[in-house]
């Protein structure tokens, strides 16, 4: 059974229907890419998985999203627990205007996850798992805003890891980065895949082809095609997918 399952998902911003009858199954400990032209609803779909859309006024959702078999839109579902379990990395690297250390420790503190003495060790482990520790070891207490964009994005990933999520949602995590930095983040994703279920939204088809195990193609709020990345890119089942990945529109 998939880690995340969407069943007959419809999503509305007021009267505008942004998602139309989405059905998909995201496998555990794999990387799933969502591609499609601008405005097709990729971010909207992603933000349904951790209910970040709840912040927007006038939204409506029909259908179900199951994570580990539990409908996250059930009335009694625990929003804070969900968001701890399903972390998110945003398009623009957005560390808090705190020190590098405090950025990572933030999640530990709000969830009361560690004793005071244990926090430094966990912070180091998190930084280490995104390969940032060696670069910043001697300046953990300086502002995170002074890091390079790529370091910031890795810090943001580490910040997400600190609360021990099971799923990581990434909304165009590399679109603010140069090609070399992008490659580094992609390598990191490959490593994280061993322990986490990753869903990445991307504009960059090469990136989807490079990093993901499975790919979904969206168009105007519909999930046109979903399957093994290799299949989608070599023999797409739908004419529209083919047109998109061969660059004939969008």
Partner 1 sequence: MNPKRRQKIVFSLLFISSLLVITPIFLIFFFIFKEGIKVISWEFLTTSPARMGGGGVFPAIVGTLYLTLGTVLISVPLGVLAGIYLSEYAKENLLTRLVKLAIINLAGVPSIVYGLFGLGLFVIFLRFGASLLSGCFTLSIMVLPIVITATKEALNNVPQSFREVSLSLGATKWQTIRYCVLPYAFGGILTGVILSIGRASGETAPILFTAAAFYLPHLPRSIFDQVMALPYHLYVVATQVPGVERRVSYGICLVLVVLVILIDLIALITRYQIRKKKLW
CA 7 to chain centre: 20
Characterize the bridge pairing of strands 167-171 and 197-201. parallel
Q: Which of 191, 214, 32 is nearest to 49 (CA)?
A: 32
Judged by CB, which is closer to ligand ATP: 123, or 223?
A: 223
Shortest separation between residue 77's beta carbon and partner 1, angstroms: 13
Judged by CB, which is closer to partner 1: 38, or 112?
A: 112
Sequence-separated (6 or more) residues with CB below 8 Å from residue 212? 30, 31, 32, 33, 200, 229
Quote the CA–CA distance of 169 and 31 in Å, as a whole number: 10
8-state DSSP, 67? E
Structure tokens at 107: 């999640």
Task: Select the span of 102-110, 117-125, 178-186, 204-212 touching partner 1 (CB under 8 A).
Answer: 102-110
**Residue 175 binds to partner 1 (criterion: CB under 8 A):** no
CA 214 to chain centre: 14
Shortest separation between residue 97's beta carbon and partner 1, angstroms: 5
**Residue 55 binds to partner 1 (criterion: CB under 8 A):** yes
Query: Which residue in 43, 53, 129, 151 binds Mg ion (CB under 5 A)?
Result: 43
Shortest separation between residue 42's beta carbon and ligand ATP, angstroms: 4
**Residue 43 binds to partner 1 (criterion: CB under 8 A):** no
Q: Which of 49, 161, 170, 169 is nearest to 108 (CA)?
A: 161
| Contact of residue 70 among partner 1, ligand ATP, Mg ion, none (CB under 5-8 Å per partner type) | none
Quote the CA–CA distance of 204 and 211 in Å, as a whole number: 11
Task: Select the span of 2-10, 33-41, 98-106, 178-186 touching ligand ATP (CB under 6 A).
Answer: 33-41
Judged by CB, which is closer to ligand ATP: 35, or 136?
A: 35
| Contact of residue 40 among Mg ion, partner 1, ligand ATP, none (CB under 5-8 Å per partner type) | ligand ATP
Judged by CB, which is closer to ligand ATP: 171, or 214?
A: 171
Task: Select the span of 11-19, 113-121, 123-131, 190-198 touching ligand ATP (CB under 6 A).
Answer: 11-19
Encode 183-223 in three state secondary structure: HHHHHHHHHHCCCCEEEEECCCHHHHHHHCCEEEEEECCEE
List contacts with ligand ATP (CB under 6 A). Answer: 13, 16, 18, 36, 38-44, 56, 203
């Amino acid at each position: 059974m998939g880690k995340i399952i969407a069943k007959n998902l419809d999503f509305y911003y007021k009267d505008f229907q942004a998602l139309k009858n989405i059905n998909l199954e995201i496998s555990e400990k794999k990387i799933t890419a969502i591609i499609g032209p601008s405005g097709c609803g990729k971010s909207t779909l992603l933000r349904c998985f951790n209910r970040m859309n709840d912040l927007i006024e006038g939204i409506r959702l029909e259908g179900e999203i199951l994570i580990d078999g539990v409908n996250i839109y059930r009335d009694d579902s625990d929003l804070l627990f969900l968001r701890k379990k399903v972390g998110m990395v945003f398009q623009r690297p957005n560390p808090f205007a705190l020190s590098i250390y405090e950025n990572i420790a933030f999640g530990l503190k709000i969830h009361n996850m560690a004793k005071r003495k244990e926090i430094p060790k966990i912070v180091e482990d998190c930084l280490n798992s995104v390969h940032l520790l060696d670069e910043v070891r001697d300046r953990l207490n300086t502002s995170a805003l002074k890091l390079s964009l790529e370091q910031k994005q890795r810090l943001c990933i580490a910040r997400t890891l600190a609360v021990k999520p099971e799923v990581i949602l990434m909304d165009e995590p590399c679109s603010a980065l140069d090609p070399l930095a992008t490659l580094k983040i992609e390598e990191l994703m490959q490593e994280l895949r061993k322990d986490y279920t990753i869903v990445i939204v991307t504009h960059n088809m090469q990136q989807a082809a490079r990093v993901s195990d499975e790919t979904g193609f969206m168009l105007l709020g519909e999930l046109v095609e979903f399957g093994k990345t290799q299949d989608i890119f070599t023999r797409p089942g739908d004419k529209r997918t083919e047109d998109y990945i061969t660059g004939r529109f969008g």
